[in-house]
Amino acid sequence: MDFLADPHDGGPLSLHTFEGRDDTTRDGVLLNQASGRFYVIQDGIPTLFIDELRPDDTAFARRYHGRLKALGCEVKASGGEKAGDLTRIENERQARDDQAEDYDRMLSMKVLGLFEIPRYKAALSEETASPLLEAGCGTGRLTHVFAQIAPDVVAVDMSRESLVRNRVRHHARTYNPVHYVHADLTHLPLKDAVFGRCAHAGVYEHIPSRDLRLQFLSHARRTMKKDGVLMISAYRYGGVTTFFEKEGEHDGGIPFFRFTPDELQGEVETSFRVEKLVANLGIYMSMVVARA
């Protein structure tokens, strides 16, 4: 509740938990009293998408019909008309849910981690008592690293399957608390000026258009404290990687772009002050360090 806001209008949300038949149930809703919009919490993970990307929650609405009615929650059909780029986000959400288990098994990601983690830690090493935003946490390959350097981590991803896997993985460890949020980074349901650091690794290249990428950056900036540090790691285009496709789709229709250093810097500078842009992992990725 210290971090969350309505993804539509940034308005405040009130928390209503639903007691289940046993005390393990952690369901409830977050309600925007002014608009009547509500967002579901299932098994402790809040889901906060704009209407156009709202996952189907009819089963939840049916199960808690009486309670939702008593609270004055406005039950709406999910999905509906949406612009082409939002359809691509929705397709990727499905693909990420379907592939979450495979992602965890990818040996290449484990090997990459050995090289990436020390650099990410160094980039985000500035001490601050503020929470860290992990924007696109996936199944938790890096979440435990951030939970060692920040007092609280808010881990956002649009794939619920990935968040659930991340939570299981993180709970096996004993680092600082991680708060999971099921949401779209281009409509971040988070309050202003909360975070001292933001980590965004291996995600930026999958946001399907320049407009949506800039929208994410502007949200990230809004949620960060002044002078907070943003670290982005994204596919690089240039040198040897010009033999790779500049843009395309991975399995399941996951979009990707490769950015020249100038392209990446130009986009990040629309909301942040870039301090450093270096080649990472040989020349495969770029790492940007920037300040809010």
Ligand X SMILES: C[S@@+](CC[C@H](N)C(=O)[O-])C[C@H]1O[C@@H](n2cnc3c(N)ncnc32)[C@H](O)[C@@H]1O
Interface residues toward ligand X, by CB under 6 A:
89, 92, 96, 136-138, 141-142, 157-159, 162, 184-186, 201-203, 206-207
71 vs 249, beta carbon nearer ligand X: 249
39 vs 64, beta carbon nearer ligand X: 39
Q: Supply the minimum distance, in Å, between the C-beta of residue 220 and ligand X.
A: 11
Q: Supply the minimum distance, in Å, between the C-beta of residue 203 and ligand X.
A: 4
154 vs 203, beta carbon nearer ligand X: 203
Q: Supply the minimum distance, in Å, between the C-beta of residue 121 and ligand X.
A: 14
Q: What is the DSSP letter of 269?
A: T
Residue 149's DSSP bridge partners are none
Q: Supply the minimum distance, in Å, between the C-beta of residue 242 and ligand X.
A: 22
16 vs 258, beta carbon nearer ligand X: 258
Burial 217-243 (b: 16+ CB within 10 A, else e): bebbbbbbeeebbbbbbbbbbeeebee
DSSP per-residue letters across 96-165: HHHHHHHHHH-HHHHHHHHHHHHHHHHHT----SS-EEEES-TTSTTHHHHHHHSS-EEEEES-HHHHHH
Distance CA 245, CA 222 (A): 33
Q: Supply the minimum distance, in Å, between the C-beta of residue 250 and ligand X.
A: 9
How do beta strands 45-48 and 38-42 pair?
antiparallel
32 vs 186, beta carbon nearer ligand X: 186
